[in-house]
């Protein structure tokens, strides 16, 4: 007789978890699709990947960028599929919040009710028992349950590993990919062996959940699908026929939810962006915005080759500026400021503060790179132009016209990004005009780009020519806070 039973909270939690896992796996695959390459080193050097899940190859005689490398996977395996990183991220983070809350509740209830004993062994004797169970399974027979418990020893260990090791590793290895967390606590990232190792580990977590699910379903079939589902649905094993049918209904419902959110995301991405974004963004603002970058990577860590996301302005005006080392270029700073200015590159360099920072760059696609950036701290520009009290946001307008310059990005118009004024006060928020000790290269944003070390790369506008201080951003572009937010539904603030 099983003394632990299957209390209602445990059954409810189980099925919620099953739904959440399917959504997490599919949205996770969507995120992988945007840069389907896995690396061992943080420079993400082209060609150094240990795994690739793409059929694309890149040209050798033309600059390609990481948008060209994006894959489009089927909605059957990814949420929502068809190359929708923005949607994939919304679902991954939204469900992650629910999954973590459910998981914490579950573990709390396990300990509050004494049910933890069903998973956590209290004697080393479990190991020889588990070995014996393994041999029994390998003999195509079923081992006995532990006395008074719902599982055999091997099952007990497997569940303990999933709940108390795999799930925490999933959460922590996800957090370790947040630029805000890594900027504030560089030691935490080092603990995992670096940004790309932890990304690879997060991928192994995905594989582990898939493997666990496959074995779990196989075991259900072997032990008796109806009876096992009767336990997990009704709390007793006496209704195998009911267990069979209701389990099929629940599985259909899980598939139905997956289809519904996929269709919703593909048809009404803006709505998904607003609804899910509101929840995720609130948490990001509360937890991640205060994270101030404290990164000081050694110069030896600087990547020989820094990947590129976004192609430079393909206009004569820009090319003529570049061949004259940007002497004709002007930076206009205006909007809600006391002292609007127009600056040349010389003026910017001549401003007496000049700051260098050697930091890890996090692209939203998952690749990373270490670079040394030199320029003017944004807060010093603020001192110069003196924002008015009603200024709350800063808009960075660029010379890049996406319709013309970036065939791999859906959308038209000039690239711009808007940040909260609060971020401008962070000590490592920089207007960079140099990279790795040389003038900022064209493909990295010459002559001027933004560095926001606790955010993802796309917020760090390149090829800037105009900076405007705003009280509100809803009337700029489509009103979502930036070109990527408008066109590919990314979030406005991206500490993760």
From 140, 187, 207, 346, residue interacting with another protein (rule: CB under 8 A): 140
Rounded Cα distance between 25 and 10, Å, is: 22
Q: Total residues at the site for another protein (CB under 8 A)?
A: 47
- Kind plus residue range of the DSSP H or E element containing 400: strand 393-401
Is 312 a binder of another protein (CB under 8 A)? yes
Could you tell me which residues are beta bridge partners of residue 375?
Answer: 355, 432
**Phi and psi of 423, rounded to 5°?**
-65, -25
Return the residue of 1, 316, 346, 475 that touches another protein, per CB under 8 A: 316
Return the structure tokens found at 436: 């790795």
Tell me what percent of the chain is helix, strand and coil, each rounded to the nearest 5.
50, 15, 40
If residue 51 lies in a helix (H) or strand (E), which one and from where to where?
strand 51-52
Nearest-approach distance from CB 55 to another protein, in angstroms: 5
Task: Dig out the tokens for 185 from the structure.
Answer: 């606590």
User: Per CB under 8 A, which region of 114-122, 131-139, 170-178, 234-242 contacts another protein?
Assistant: 131-139
Query: 88 vs 495, which CB is nearer to another protein?
Result: 88
**Interaction of residue 133 with another protein, rule CB under 8 A:** no
- Using CB atoms within 10 A of its CB, is residue 242 exposed (0-12), middle (13-18) or buried (19+)? middle
Residue closer to another protein, measured from CB, 405 or 486: 405
Q: Which residues contact 405 (CB under 8 A, 6 or more apart)?
A: 310, 311, 312, 313, 314
Which residues are paired to 374 by β-bridges? 356, 434
In the bound complex, what is the minimum distance in angstroms from residue 287's beta carbon to another protein?
Answer: 36
C-alpha angle 368-371-373 in degrees, rounded to nearest 5: 135
- The verdict on 158 binding another protein (CB under 8 A) reads no
Asked whether the beta carbons of 341 and 384 are under 8 A apart, the reply is yes
Query: Is the Cβ of residue 59 or residue 389 nearer to another protein in the bound state?
Result: 59
Q: Is 321 in the site for another protein (CB under 8 A)?
A: yes
The residue within the footprint of another protein, chosen from 3, 12, 63, 108 (CB under 8 A), is 63
Q: How many CB atoms lie within 10 A of CB 217?
A: 11
Regarding beta strands 430-435 and 368-377, do their DSSP bridges make them parallel or antiparallel, or are they unpaired? Answer: antiparallel
Contact with another protein (CB under 8 A): which of 57, 122, 123, 352? 57
Q: Which span sits near another protein by CB under 8 A: 58-66, 150-158, 230-238, 449-457?
A: 58-66
Q: Of 44-52, 120-128, 355-363, 466-474, which segment contacts another protein by CB under 8 A?
A: 44-52
Instruction: Pick one of 14, 52, 299, 425: the residue that binds another protein (CB under 8 A).
Output: 52
Site string for another protein, 439-468 (x = CB under 8 A): x-xxx--x----------------------
Find the shortest distance in angstroms from Cβ 313 to another protein: 9
> Residue 279 or 322: which CB sits closer to another protein?
322
State how far Cα 452 lies from the chain centre: 17
Are the CB atoms for 64 and 46 separated by under 8 Å? no
- Residues interacting with another protein, by CB under 8 A? 46-58, 60-64, 69, 134-135, 138-141, 311-312, 314, 316, 319-325, 327-328, 405, 407, 434, 438-439, 441-443, 446
């Amino acid at each position: 007789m099983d003394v632990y039973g299957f209390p209602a909270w445990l059954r409810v939690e189980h099925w919620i978890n099953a739904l959440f896992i399917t959504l997490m796996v599919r949205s996770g695959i969507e995120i992988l699709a945007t840069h389907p390459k896995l690396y061992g080193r943080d420079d993400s050097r082209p060609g150094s990947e240990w795994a690739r899940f793409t059929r694309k190859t890149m040209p050798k005689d033309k600059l390609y960028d990481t948008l060209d490398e994006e894959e489009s996977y089927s909605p059957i395996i990814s949420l929502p599929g068809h190359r929708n990183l923005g949607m994939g991220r919304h679902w991954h983070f939204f469900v992650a919040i629910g999954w973590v809350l459910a998981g914490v509740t579950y573990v709390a209830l396990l300990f509050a009710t004494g049910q933890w004993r069903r998973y956590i062994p209290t004697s080393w004797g479990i190991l020889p028992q588990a070995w014996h169970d393994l041999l029994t399974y390998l003999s195509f027979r079923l081992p006995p349950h532990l006395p008074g418990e719902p599982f055999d020893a091997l099952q007990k260990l497997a569940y303990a590993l999933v709940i108390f090791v795999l799930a925490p590793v999933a959460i922590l290895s996800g957090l370790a990919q947040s630029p805000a967390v890594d900027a504030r606590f560089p030691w935490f990232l080092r603990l995992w062996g670096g940004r790309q190792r932890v990304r690879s580990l997060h991928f192994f977590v995905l594989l582990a959940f898939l493997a666990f699910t496959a074995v779990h379903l196989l075991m259900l079939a072997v032990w008796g699908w109806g009876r096992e589902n009767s336990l997990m649905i009704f709390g007793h094993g006496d209704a195998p026929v009911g267990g069979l049918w209701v389990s099929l209904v629940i599985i259909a419902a899980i598939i139905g939810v997956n289809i519904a959110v996929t269709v919703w995301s593909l048809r009404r991405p803006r709505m998904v962006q607003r609804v899910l974004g509101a929840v995720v963004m609130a948490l990001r603002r509360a937890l991640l915005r205060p994270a101030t970058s404290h990164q000081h990577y050694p110069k030896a860590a600087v990547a020989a080759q820094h990947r590129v996301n976004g192609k430079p302005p393909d206009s004569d005006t820009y090319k003529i500026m570049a061949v004259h080392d940007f002497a004709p270029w002007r930076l206009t700073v205006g909007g809600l400021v006391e002292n609007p200015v127009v600056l040349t590159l010389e003026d910017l360099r001549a401003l007496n503060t000049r700051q260098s920072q050697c930091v890890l760059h996090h692209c939203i696609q998952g690749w990373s790179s270490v670079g040394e950036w030199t320029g003017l701290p944004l807060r010093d520009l603020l001192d110069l132009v003196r924002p008015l009290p009603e200024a709350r946001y800063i808009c960075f307008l660029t010379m890049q016209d996406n319709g013309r310059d970036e065939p791999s990005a859906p959308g038209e118009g000039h690239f711009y990004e808007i940040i909260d004024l609060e971020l401008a006060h962070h000590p490592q928020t920089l207007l960079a005009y140099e990279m790795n000790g040389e003038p900022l290269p064209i493909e990295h944003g010459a002559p001027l780009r933004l560095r926001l070390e606790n955010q993802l790369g796309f917020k760090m506008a390149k090829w800037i020519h105009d900076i405007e201080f705003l009280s509100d951003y809803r009337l700029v572009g489509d009103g979502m806070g930036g070109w990527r937010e408008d066109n590919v539904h990314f979030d406005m603030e991206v500490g993760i």
